[in-house]
Structure 1
Amino acid sequence: MRVDGQDIPVHGSLLQPLRRRTNDQVRVVVAAVCVIAVVVVSLVTRGRWESVESSVSDLIGVASPDLSNRFYSFYGAAIVALPFAILVGIVVGRRWKLLAGYAAAALIAGVALSFTGDGVAAPKWHLDLSAHLDTFLSQFLDDSRWIAMLAAVLTVCGPWLPVRWRRLWWILLLGFVPMHLFVSAVVPARAMLGLTVGWFVGALVVLFVGTPALEVPVDAAVRVLGRRGLKVREMSVLSPAGPGPLVLSAWCRVEQSGERDAGGPDLFGTAGRLPGRTAVATDTPEQVVVVELYGQHQRSEGLVRQVGRWLTFRSSETPAPFASLRRSVEHRALMATAAGALGVSSSAPTAVAALDRGWMLYAHTEPYGTVVDGHDPGGLDVVWEGLHRLHSSQISHGDLRPENIRTEAGGALFDGFSRSEVGASDSAILSDVAQLLLVTVGLFGVGPAVRAAIASVGAPKVIAASGRLTRSAMPSRIRGAVPDAKELMAATRLEVRTQTNSGEIRAEQVTRFTRNQLIQLVLLIGLVYVAYPFVSQVPTFITELQSANWWWALLGLVVSGLTYVGAAAALWACASETVSFRHLTIMQFANTFAATTTPAGVGGLALSARFLQHNGLGGVRATAAVALQQTVQVVTHLVLLVVFSIAAGRNADLSHFIPKGTVLYLIAGLLLGVVGTFMVVPKLRRWLREDLRPQVADLTVELLDLARDPWRFLLIVAGCAGTTLGAALALWASVEAFGGGATFITVTIVTMIGGTLASAAPTPGGVGAVEAALIGGLAAFGVPASVAVPSVLLYRVLTCWLPVFAGWPILHWLQRNDLI
């Protein structure tokens, strides 16, 4: 590199990797969202274009034919000349790579909008001026492919154009929409599609072609250092531009003619060397300066990170956002200066400056001291003392990775102040303590690190900070810098409890929503989804209730309540009677809520296992108990179905419930396909062998133990049978409430078949499938529709919706009492 007549060698690559060009990636995502929005809006409002055009015509009026022709003449000439003017500039500037991007963007955008429902439509551009002089310009303006090509080439070439010209061209191109409305009062839907598609194609091409912002202004950085009295002789890349800045090491010669204040501190008293190089003998002092260059991609990545933190973390955990990249870099320099005043900064700022093409320079001295390691036990107390000095001035660090912690002459020094804060909140202080606690545990061991932390900041603060030793509260950059961070965090929390004689350390909530809150939100959305079909039938149902026998309805309510006692008894016996039967019965109502709002009732199974695990059973034992109950429930259900089918006798026609042969063959084929897939795919075979097989073995052991305990076996079977028969009795009572017409045996068959469909239906709670099966089953046994429909709705209210609405507050009660 040659700067002002001096050759300065630069070792290493200055190119930014493609996957780290955040600014270009954000542009692609935003353009894709715009394309999707235009397409969706066009499809949704397609039938309303005529009314919109009529409204626009009445509002603004339509220009006269002469005025419209003038508009088309002046505006069309500019639009047609635009791509050629850009092309001439590219050729004159000899930017051949940009020329390739220009051609690719125009070609892709034009071809993309040439596909129609009838195939590929060729452009209808007539270049014969003598035959089509009056329509020569309008044929380009009315073709969305031309608009897309213009938007694509302008997106690709825009960064290379002067700012004034770039803004002028974009204003001219975007002005097509209001101009088209004024001239013809036609909503330019295809033109909007062309603009967004062209922008998207251009953004994709820019991602691969690049922009001037990728050209690192190293020469400008050298001139800035020269004005600071540092004449750069050689540079070496220490870290390529990626998630962080481009970091270079500059070997400089200190000159007294720089722009530094005459009475300022001497920041360059210690001579430095470039790694692997030998200093040239000279009378002029030399210094190694670390140069950090921040580009637009660091700005866009920082913006995405700030938005992400604002959406996911509480406001107390989120520092104030920076208005620009310049403010962010200046903040780091100011924080390093503040820490230097306390004597705990490992480097001193040298220069901060704005460079060409949106780049920012931050230069500082080479870090002093040695990186802390676990070989010097004395360094543990020194590091905690250094953090205490920062916190005493209400300064938080925010990025206590091992490479940012150094020691020298018995004192601690810190580096990397990009996430530091002055006037730090209590949350930021506790976050620092938790970070340093985890880092020192990884370096010095659990016991010594916890003792040093307690001795430095006190037991109460260490206990509070230990609640942040979780995956959500500990930043990923800290967890990535410590080997086996997950195991170390758990071991550290246990050691803090031991050394402070404290109880259970609750995890600190740093996110806006906890995992349980998100699950409850999903369940609530599922409840709204499954309740919507029922709400539409409420008026008819209320009208029918006026003629119902309320004593039968009350009997159905009581019986449906007893089914929860039966389910609780079965699960209580499966858990070897080790949990509270009262709490287990209460949990069944919350279980109904979770099962109804999730497909196939998986939420209820997960809640049951969670309850058992939280009340003393291990994870494997709780899962085995739930699996045992479900197995006995299925077997009991099938046995009762066979028994009641036989008891129904020949008078009951069950052919309505038997699937057709085609359906049976289809089901058998799907089952064989699933079995074959598990046999062929190695990962699935491994899952069967390593995960599923041990669980089946545990379930087999449980069944054998159950066979040796008749009382426990009878209790489980009775509970499962009571659940099935109680539901059947509730439906029979509902039918009798509206006049009857079916025996208990036939209603039981209908109920069990409806329950089978509920477990197989993909909708939450089997909504839709259960109602249809029950109404159809009752009709098959001769129950009129005027009785079957309100009976089924009353049955679903008693056995589903009332428990569901009661289950929501019960679920909260279980959480508040630490039962789940």
Structure 2
Amino acid sequence: MAIVTGRVDSDTGGARSGGIPGPGGPGGDAAPGPAGTARVRQPVALIRLLAGVAAITLTLLLADYARATTSGIASDVAQAADLVPRPLAGLAGGLTTAALLLVPAYSAARRLTSAAADRRRTLQHLSDGLLAAVLAYGISLALDLWVDEAASPTLVAALTQRLPGGSLAHTEPVYGYLAPVLGFLTASAARERRLPRLTLAASALAGLAAGYATPTALLLGLLIGWTAAHGTRYAVGTPDPRPRPAQLLRSLREAGLRPVAARPAGPDRYLVTQEAGRPDLDVQLLDRQAVTAALFQRAWRRMRLRTAPHPRALRSLRTGLEHEALVSYAAVAAGVRTRRIAATAELGRDSALVAYEYLPGRTLDRLADEELTDALLTDAWSQLALLHRREISHRALVPSALLVDDAGAVHLVDLADGDIAASDLVMRCDTAQLLATFALRTGAERAVRTAVAVLGADTVGAALPLLQPIALAGTTRRELKRAASAARAASAERSQPAGPATPPVELLDAIRAEVLRTQPQAPVRAVKVERLRPRTLLAVCGGVVAGWLLLPQLFATEQNPIAAVADADPLWLALALLAAVTSHVTAAMGFVGFVPERLDFRNAVFAQVAGSFVKLVSPGGVGGVALNTRFLQRAGIPTAQALSSVGVGQLFGLVLHLLQLGAFVYLMGMEPGGSELDALPAVVGGLVGAGVLLALVSAVPPARRWLAARLRPLTSEVLPRLVELLRSPGRLAVGVAGQLLVSLCLVACLYCCARAVGREPAFAAVAVVFLIGNAVGNAAPTPGGAGAVDSALVTLLEHSASMEEGGALAAVALYRLLTLVLPVLPGWAAFAWLQRRGAL
């Protein structure tokens, strides 16, 4: 009989945590005041407000751009309205308008005269409805004035039509009183639904039949009223919707219990005392608004992960209540120690309660380290084994879900997100989660040893592929990061006098090592639990943004750049292709030159070609760094040395990039008629911005510590690797030459592309344009720098190389075709070939 609070854990899909404190405990101070005496801002109101604003904007855009569709619909409706006799349509319009205006008054009078109504809360709701009605009416009038005075003629024609009777005037863009009436009913939380809906529908149909409204005007009226209502509810807040203790006790009595008193015990929780001889109750309130507020986060997690629970926000309140009760009953039937449900009940449309038998105890996060004995850990694993024996998953085995009673027995609580007939993958996730939970408190060795003693080595080994951060709860991931940071800091302090610090063994790695010690045949390859990776979504968004930015520009100039590319000079085009191909060879030189160990140069060239494929699924230069590091690891170089070699290459590349930029800026000033002043603002601005950013980071202690942590690998790993390279000056010269030549090859490619489309820019100017544009591309978070590189190159070619817009677009389009698009297929082939040979 476990007791939990009502806090929602967004990472576990709704797990609640924390045991009920005793009288005077910490939970009582955080208890809310009496319901109805305060106002609360509910996030769901903000979500609906933003959705309403988006819907209104989309309606106006569609009305303006999809003129044929809106005009066709309005014409069809007008033809159908002509079949209705005009006097009858006018009479219906007048009657429905009168009825529409009487609906708010009827709703308010009925609520005020209701004997069971809470007068204070009712007055608050009615005042909110009145404010929303005024706001909706004001927005409708403002939109009418804007359409009449400032909107385009096409939008006016889409929203309005000629008044019946041959008048030259037109109808209103927002029809009648739909907006204020709907705003009042929504903001005042009117209980009557059928009569207002029928009246709104009748008024809308009468307006269409009489010719005083268009379908778009009706839609705008409804959207404005709905949006204004939720904007009002979020701006001023809503009366606290949580039930009062008296209502809570009345519902429990109706459920067959004998409650005497209720006192708050935390957010959305009450400790209820019953008559003598009956156990106390832990009553948990379920709030639809709080669950819906996390809709987007939980829906994204469900879409991203195969192991995520179903979003509770997508269930009805009754469905969620039944699911929680079902999992709890199934766990009790399986012999698992958990809280027993005493009663369930709905408290209106937006809340419900689950009453559990009260059991005093403390959760795992409130126990001292010395209290976490092997017997306690073994008992927890035994409870999980009972749960899994009936194919029931928990999904949220965080410390707050393990409650220890006064006798030292472990109870599994927070089963709201559990599953009946759970899959093997989800149950292995439970095992991995509990391993991480215990390892954070007791260490990897004890966590694995007690798990193997209860579950067996095979079961624990089967969970090893799920022991990855993304498959764990959000609170556990944060604790793992905090523990790793603390371990690194302690290791750095201990090793500071003796030499560079070595990174500590990560906790998950320690758990894997312990499991493999007991089960050497256990699978170690991680199971793919992601359905959709953020970088995939980023790649799609980057491509859409790039197309949105570039495609209109391709046809906005007098000279069509596509035609210019089609008419490109074959000789210069061949030279551009040669320069693009040569850049992969020089990139391999720049890569192997900073690795003291001997590498297969052919494989290194193929790795650089494969980088062209990897760039499409990773932002900036991240994909190339990861690919080169993996290539060195597969070549037998330890991870630390591989990262150091790549870091040395990146450091030299940055320095050489700045030196080349300065040299070409100087050469621009030496050319006849040239001036380095055109490029200096970008160069100086970038340097000044970097300096200001570094100064700001250094001035803020948390940022300074973050920067120091990121630079620590540079001093502890990269610099020693650089000293080792200095002993082989020939190899270092190859690396420096490769870094210089790869930039020159790409500059030559861009220059040849410009010459191929009939332009004759200065080579130094093109070099400056490329070096600045390439820096922008590496900083952009889009794959391959899509959008950012293209826009930067076009803009810089126009200003620094004195090329017109059409020629700049044609040169950049041809350059990106040769360096980004065409290498994708060879890059994929090289990637697959290296994988088959075990080089990646």
TM-score category of the 2 structures, normalised to the smaller one: 0.7 to 0.9
Asked whether the equivalents of residues 433 and 472 of structure 2 are also in contact (C-alpha less than 8 Å), the reply is yes
- Say if 1:76 and 1:753 are closer, same or farther in 2 by CA, change over 3 A: same
SS at match of 1:314: coil
Post-superposition Cα deviations, 1:76-107, rounded to whole Å, max 9, x if no partner, equal: 21233334434544665653323332332233
The one-letter code sitting in structure 1 at the alignment partner of 2:127 is A
Post-superposition Cα deviations, 1:125-173, rounded to whole Å, max 9, x if no partner, equal: xxxxxxxxx9xxx99987658433222111122x343x3xx32213322
Q: 1:565 aligns with which of 585, 590, 600?
A: 585
- How is 1:283-682 mapped onto 2 (pairs within 5 angstroms)? 285-297=277-289, 300=292, 307-314=299-306, 318=310, 324-357=316-349, 359-367=351-359, 374-402=371-399, 403-406=401-404, 412-476=410-474, 484=482, 488-501=507-520, 505-514=524-533, 517-518=536-537, 521=540, 540=563, 544=567, 548=570, 557-576=577-596, 581-592=601-612, 602-603=621-622, 606-607=625-626, 616=639, 617=641, 619=643, 622-636=646-660, 638-639=662-663, 653-655=672-674, 679=695
TM-score by length of 2: 0.72
SS at match of 2:427: helix
Equivalent in the alignment of 1:106: 133
> What displacement does 1:427 show?
1.4
Equivalent in the alignment of 2:7: none
Distance 2:469 2:617 in 1: 29
1:73 pairs with 2:73: no
Asked whether the equivalents of residues 530 and 597 of structure 1 are also in contact (C-alpha less than 8 Å), the reply is no
Post-superposition Cα deviations, 1:406-432, rounded to whole Å, max 9, x if no partner, equal: 468786543333233332210121122
> What displacement does 1:58 show?
3.9
Equivalent in the alignment of 2:156: none
> What displacement does 1:725 show?
4.5
SS at match of 1:350: strand
Asked whether the equivalents of residues 248 and 290 of structure 1 are also in contact (C-alpha less than 8 Å), the reply is yes
Asked whether the equivalents of residues 750 and 778 of structure 1 are also in contact (C-alpha less than 8 Å), the reply is yes
Equivalent in the alignment of 1:36: 57
Identity %: 21
SS at match of 2:260: strand
Distance 1:141 1:205 in 2: 24
- How is 1:674-693 mapped onto 2 (pairs within 5 angstroms)? 679=695, 683=699, 690-691=707-708
Distance 1:776 1:474 in 2: 51
Q: 2:737 aligns with which of 714, 718, 727?
A: 718
Asked whether the equivalents of residues 609 and 623 of structure 1 are also in contact (C-alpha less than 8 Å), the reply is no
Q: 1:155 aligns with which of 186, 203, 209?
A: 186
Distance 1:778 1:519 in 2: 32
Asked whether the equivalents of residues 180 and 188 of structure 1 are also in contact (C-alpha less than 8 Å), the reply is no
TM-score by length of 1: 0.73
Distance 1:590 1:736 in 2: 29
Larger Rg: 1
Distance 1:557 1:101 in 2: 68
Equivalent in the alignment of 1:274: none
Q: 2:242 aligns with which of 214, 229, 232?
A: 214
Asked whether the equivalents of residues 14 and 216 of structure 1 are also in contact (C-alpha less than 8 Å), the reply is no
Distance 1:776 1:597 in 2: 31
SS at match of 1:367: coil
The one-letter code sitting in structure 2 at the alignment partner of 1:508 is V
- Say if 1:121 and 1:239 are closer, same or farther in 2 by CA, change over 3 A: farther
Distance 2:83 2:392 in 1: 65
Distance 1:798 1:305 in 2: 40
Equivalent in the alignment of 2:230: 203
The one-letter code sitting in structure 1 at the alignment partner of 2:652 is L
Post-superposition Cα deviations, 1:293-338, rounded to whole Å, max 9, x if no partner, equal: 3343366468667644432222786599985333433333343333
Structure 2 residues not aligned, in runs of 5+: 1-27, 150-164, 485-505, 778-785
- Say if 1:56 and 1:356 are closer, same or farther in 2 by CA, change over 3 A: closer
Equivalent in the alignment of 1:759: 774
SS at match of 1:512: coil
> What displacement does 1:114 show?
4.5
CA RMSD, Structure 1 to Structure 2 (Å) = 5.1
Question: Quick one: higher RCO (CA 8 Å, sep 6+), 1 or 2?
Answer: 2
- Say if 1:540 and 1:103 are closer, same or farther in 2 by CA, change over 3 A: closer
- Say if 1:290 and 1:791 are closer, same or farther in 2 by CA, change over 3 A: closer
Equivalent in the alignment of 1:234: 261
Distance 1:405 1:717 in 2: 61
> What displacement does 1:534 show?
11
> What displacement does 1:709 show?
5.8
The one-letter code sitting in structure 2 at the alignment partner of 1:470 is Q
SS at match of 2:196: helix
Bigger shift: residues 605-614 or 99-108 = 605-614
- Say if 1:319 and 1:767 are closer, same or farther in 2 by CA, change over 3 A: closer
Equivalent in the alignment of 2:272: 249
Distance 1:815 1:177 in 2: 65
Distance 2:564 2:469 in 1: 50
- Say if 1:396 and 1:306 are closer, same or farther in 2 by CA, change over 3 A: same
Distance 2:100 2:81 in 1: 24
- Say if 1:345 and 1:761 are closer, same or farther in 2 by CA, change over 3 A: closer
Equivalent in the alignment of 2:160: none
SS at match of 1:416: coil
> What displacement does 1:450 show?
0.6
Post-superposition Cα deviations, 1:490-533, rounded to whole Å, max 9, x if no partner, equal: 54234334444468934433231245544554566577668858
Asked whether the equivalents of residues 187 and 230 of structure 2 are also in contact (C-alpha less than 8 Å), the reply is yes
Distance 1:438 1:192 in 2: 53
- Say if 1:497 and 1:819 are closer, same or farther in 2 by CA, change over 3 A: farther
1:172 pairs with 2:199: yes
Distance 2:402 2:720 in 1: 55
SS at match of 1:239: coil
Distance 1:522 1:455 in 2: 49
SS at match of 2:344: strand
Distance 2:96 2:373 in 1: 75
Asked whether the equivalents of residues 570 and 718 of structure 1 are also in contact (C-alpha less than 8 Å), the reply is yes
- Say if 1:626 and 1:45 are closer, same or farther in 2 by CA, change over 3 A: same
Post-superposition Cα deviations, 1:717-766, rounded to whole Å, max 9, x if no partner, equal: 4323433454466578779989x998xxx874465245235336676473
The one-letter code sitting in structure 1 at the alignment partner of 2:92 is F
Distance 1:414 1:817 in 2: 49
SS at match of 2:330: helix
The one-letter code sitting in structure 2 at the alignment partner of 1:85 is Y
Bigger shift: residues 405-414 or 714-723 = 405-414
Distance 1:776 1:811 in 2: 39
Asked whether the equivalents of residues 317 and 427 of structure 1 are also in contact (C-alpha less than 8 Å), the reply is no
Distance 1:526 1:805 in 2: 23
The one-letter code sitting in structure 1 at the alignment partner of 2:230 is A
Equivalent in the alignment of 1:3: none
Distance 1:667 1:304 in 2: 42
> What displacement does 1:626 show?
0.9
Post-superposition Cα deviations, 1:253-284, rounded to whole Å, max 9, x if no partner, equal: 3xxxxxxxxxxxxxxxxxxxxxxxxxxxxxxx
> What displacement does 1:463 show?
2.9
